[in-house]
Amino acid sequence: MQPFSYQRSGDARAAVRAATRAGAAPPTEAPIQFIAGGTNMTDYMKLGVARPEVLIDINELGRQDYGRIELEEGGLRLGALVRMAEAQEHPKILADYPVVAQTLALAASQQIRNMASLGGNVLQRTRCEYFRGTAFPCNKRNPGSGCAALQGINREHAVLGTSEACIATYHGDFAQALIALDATVETLGPGGRRQFRFSDLHRLPGETPNIETNLEPGELITFIRVPAGPHTRRSHYVKIRDRESYQFAVASAAVALDLDGDTVRDARIALGGLATVPWRAREAEAALRGKALDEEAALAAAEIAFAPAKPREHNAFKVAAGKQTLVRALLETRAMQI
Ligand SMILES: Cc1cc2nc3c(=O)[nH]c(=O)nc-3n(C[C@H](O)[C@H](O)[C@H](O)COP(=O)(O)OP(=O)(O)OC[C@H]3O[C@@H](n4cnc5c(N)ncnc54)[C@H](O)[C@@H]3O)c2cc1C
Ligand code: SF4
């Protein structure tokens, strides 16, 4: 690990001012970076992938609003410093936003969830082994060096949203609930506060996989808002993994449904473990609207969701696994007793 200096900040504006001094580099490449729970940052620092010269510890912000869960008339407001474990166990989230609680409870381990923050969670970096192993060419870690995964072992890699520059999977679970429920993100940056759709936080890899988000240098995530709707109570997460605990998704689906009997008024679908960014399957949602949700309709929606998939040598199985996961998630969500 390269030497670094460490500061604490309990003042959001001062933290942003300090981090903005780092200049124009994307946040993950900047010499000054934030640390919250540290479960992702320290891992990547030890591997030599993250190389900040200065870490700004923002955990003290958790004593303010940034560490609170607020239930508002229109939905949920989650402070970026709320711990995963706290949100996962919150009675109102369990009852009214089950997919949010499930994506958190099925992630990582209890110990990690006790430490990890919601803001840090959505910004977690890919587990691509060629990204984590600094001996390999990797366009995300070292722009222009190539992508070892294209011809390497790509079983874990994405089949949706890929480019010829990068096929790394976005592995987080919580983000799938957020994108399915049309969450928004509030930030504080050098230009002040702003709010934008969660779906605009992460960037497709394209030619520049090293630029992972649309955050500006020094911009701090402060809150995540999840709007309430007729679909939020009937929401559910299915996560398929190589072992049943403490493991990232091979394929997952977050589904929220608004039903009139068995007929779909509205459907929200997000797919995890399969794409380079948190992935919304909007064409599949459109195909379900106005239809009776039975196995046939679920299978047809799954076909549509995976029509753009581009499997590689070792991950073709993810297309079949992804379809089955989505069908199961749709049928289990339909069967929920509300
Ligand atoms: C063994 C293991 C298994 C795991 N399994 C899963 C899993 O199954 N599913 C899953 O979803 N996750 C999994 N994780 C990932 C884990 O959930 C994340 O490491 C954790 O959520 C990150 O949160 P943190 O607060 O520790 O972030 P940190 O490590 O502190 O920060 C992560 C990144 O976010 C930035 N950051 C943090 N907070 C902010 C903020 N408020 N504003 C702007 N930037 C910020 C940091 O600069 C850093 O780049 C696993 C991790 C490990 C180590
Ligand atoms: S898939 Fe992306 S992260 Fe993995 S080696 Fe290729 S460029 Fe790097």
Which numbered atom of ligand 2 lies nearest the CA of 167? 1
Structurally, the chain folds into a number of domains equal to: 1
Q: In this structure, is residue 254 part of a structural domain?
A: yes
Ligand 1 proximity of 269 Cβ (cutoff 6 Å): no
The overall longest dimension of the chain from CA atoms, in Å, is: 60
Mutation test of ligand 2: which of 131, 142, 151, 153 has the most ligand atoms closer than 8 Å to its C-beta?
Answer: 131
Q: In this structure, is residue 308 part of a structural domain?
A: yes
- What's the CATH number where 283 sits? 3.30.390.50
CA distance 120 to 37: 7
Dihedral, CA atoms, 18, 19, 23, 27, nearest 10 degrees?
180
Q: Using the mean position of ligand 1's atoms as its centre, give its distance from the Cα of residue 290 in Å.
A: 38
Q: In this structure, is residue 104 part of a structural domain?
A: no
Does the predicted TM-score (pTM) go above 0.95? yes
- Dig out the tokens for 7 from the structure: 């500061």
- Dig out the tokens for 160 from the structure: 């949706």
- Count Cα atoms within 13 angstroms, Cβ side, for 293: 30
Query: 87-138, pLDDT tens digit by residue?
Result: 999 999 999 999 999 999 999 999 999 999 999 999 999 999 999 999 999 9
Which numbered atom of ligand 2 lies nearest the CA of 157? 1
Q: In this structure, is residue 97 part of a structural domain?
A: no
Q: In this structure, is residue 266 part of a structural domain?
A: yes
Which of 260, 320, 255 shows the shortest CA–CA distance to 285?
255
Q: In this structure, is residue 187 part of a structural domain?
A: no
- How far, CA to CA in Å, does 137 sit from each of 5, 31, 170, 207, 308? 28, 22, 19, 15, 27
Query: 204-262, pLDDT tens digit by residue?
Result: 999 999 999 999 999 999 999 999 999 999 999 999 999 988 999 999 999 999 999 99
Mutation test of ligand 1: which of 9, 122, 123 has the most ligand atoms closer than 8 Å to its C-beta?
Answer: 123
